[in-house]
Amino acid sequence: MRSVKTRGELMAQTKLDLLLERFAQHDRIALARLITLVENRAAQVSSVMERIYAQTGHAYIIGVTGAPGAGKSTLVNRLITKYRSQGKLVAVVAIDPSSPFSGGAVLGDRVRMTDHYNDAGVYIRSLSTRGYHGGLSRAAREIVKLLDAFGFDMIILETVGVGQTELSVMDLADTTLVVTVPEGGDGVQVMKAGLNEIADLFVVNKADRDGADRIKAELELSVHLRPAGGWRPPVVMTQASADVGIDALITQIERHRAYLAEHRDAARESERRTREFMEVLASEIEERTTRALRQGAVNGAQRLIEGVREGTLNPYSAVRKVVEDRRILSALLSSEQERAEQE
Ligand SMILES: Nc1nc2c(ncn2[C@@H]2O[C@H](COP(=O)(O)OP(=O)(O)OP(=O)(O)O)[C@@H](O)[C@H]2O)c(=O)[nH]1
Ligand SMILES: [Mg+2]
């Protein structure tokens, strides 16, 4: 019977309960463990999210994106300091591209953010983009939810602004900062990369360098091409390494926050919630089927896969057979325990 839990299941359940209890008591080790579960796409992730969801919705989420080396981490470091001086609890998720070129950036981030390592009001976590196959935005979303439920006031997401994945991660942010630098036609790059549309605020960092005024003018021009009436992203000049312009940046973030609060768009919010549902549904199905197939646990499906592997059955016919067979489908979507019980 389904209601009878196996010994192993009960033990896993108790362990998870304990972890969630410690999480509720603001135990950072429990927080780190839960984030690791999310990173490893463990089967318990969905039930963790169900349990903590009601505690979310309080944090303000700032996305920071832009070209490699633009000074994002340096800027984030400055933001942490300012927000900490306001007594806010700050979490940072730095999403690292998996290319070896950026491997050094992880270390760089660590080095630059060490100022805050002994501060219990600050939590910094790096997240590798490796091995997610498009599920990164779900993982990032879940980590943000965990940090939110844990009680952080400000959550800062740093990504290198390349590719669809990064853009989808920025969808989580309330305010998205696009960081540019004076050199190399960065303004044009921003437009090309589609960062223009997601920016709530442009930052021209390294304003100590030549050409800062020019890129500021370029960006301001692009802002004026936006349809009138909505939010117009301001362009803020900073010198993150010299701690210049950070107060103005924070003021603009607050302005955007106030704007959002004033212009709460119910339609946009339901759209966002629906998107979240669709994303979780799709990836839950993918994760469950992948797990079931990897464990070789689904008889009928195994035979079809053999056929595909040997070239005697084309993948489309195999998939049609799977989706038209309720028993296979239900086994694919069942949890490990449920499958064991069904046998
Ligand atoms: N001249 C100048 N250099 C800066 C400024 N801000 C940051 N830098 C330097 O730019 C370099 C890159 O800074 P990071 O903060 O690591 O840049 P990032 O955008 O986080 O880099 P990735 O995470 O690798 O994409 C470092 O050497 C910083 O010291 C600035 O305002 N002016
Ligand atoms: Mg960085």
- In this predicted structure, the answer to whether residue 199 has a pLDDT above a threshold of 50 is yes
What number does the ligand 1 atom closest to the CA of 104 have? 24
Cα–Cα distance list, 149 to 27, 47, 124 (Å): 12, 14, 16
User: 166-194 pLDDT, tens per residue?
Assistant: 777 888 999 999 999 997 666 666 666 67
Closest ligand to C-alpha of residue 244 is 1
Per-residue model confidence (pLDDT) at position 106 = 43
Q: Kindly state which CATH superfamily the domain 56-264 is placed in.
A: P-loop containing nucleotide triphosphate hydrolases (3.40.50.300)
Lowest mean pLDDT among 34-48, 152-166, 207-221, 329-343: 329-343
User: 94-114 pLDDT, tens per residue?
Assistant: 887 544 333 334 444 444 555
Domain residue spans of the chain: 1-53, 56-264, 270-342
pTM of the model: 0.88
Give helix 326-333 / helix 315-324 axis angle, nearest 10°: 90
What number does the ligand 1 atom closest to the CA of 96 have? 23
CA 2 to chain centre: 34
Three-class secondary structure of residue 25 per DSSP = coil
**Chain mean pLDDT for the chain:** 86
State what percent of residues in the chain have pLDDT above 90. 57
Question: Do residues 158 and 64 lie in contact, with contact meaning Cβ atoms separated by under 8 Å?
Answer: yes
Name all residues whose Cβ lies below 6 A of ligand 1: 68-74, 102, 105, 108, 112, 160, 205-206, 208-209, 239-241
- Can you tell me the mean pLDDT for 157-167? 77
- In this predicted structure, the answer to whether residue 338 has a pLDDT above a threshold of 60 is yes
Cα–Cα distance list, 335 to 235, 287, 288, 339 (Å): 50, 11, 7, 6
Closest ligand to C-alpha of residue 238 is 1
| Ligand 2 centre distance from Cα of residue 110 (Å) | 9
| Ligand 2 centre distance from Cα of residue 74 (Å) | 7
Residue of minimum CA distance from atom 13 in ligand 1: 71
* b/e 11-47 (16+ beta carbons within 10 angstroms → b): eeeeebeebbebbeeeeeebbeebbebbbebeebbbe
Give the neighbor-by-neighbor strand order of the sheet with 154-160.
122-128, 90-96, 154-160, 60-66, 175-180, 201-204, 235-237
| Ligand 2 centre distance from Cα of residue 165 (Å) | 17
What number does the ligand 1 atom closest to the CA of 94 have? 23
Sign of the alpha-carbon dihedral angle for 305, 311, 315, 316: negative
Per-residue model confidence (pLDDT) at position 102 = 36
Give dist(CA 97, CA 56) in Å, integer: 27
> Of 64, 65, 73, which is best to mutate to test ligand 1, by the most ligand atoms within 8 angstroms of its C-beta?
73
Residue of minimum CA distance from atom 32 in ligand 1: 206
| Ligand 1 centre distance from Cα of residue 174 (Å) | 24
More confident residue, 135 or 75: 75
Token pair belonging to 184: 């190399």
- Can you tell me the mean pLDDT for 5-16? 78
Closest ligand to C-alpha of residue 243 is 1
Closest ligand to C-alpha of residue 74 is 1
Per-residue model confidence (pLDDT) at position 4 = 63
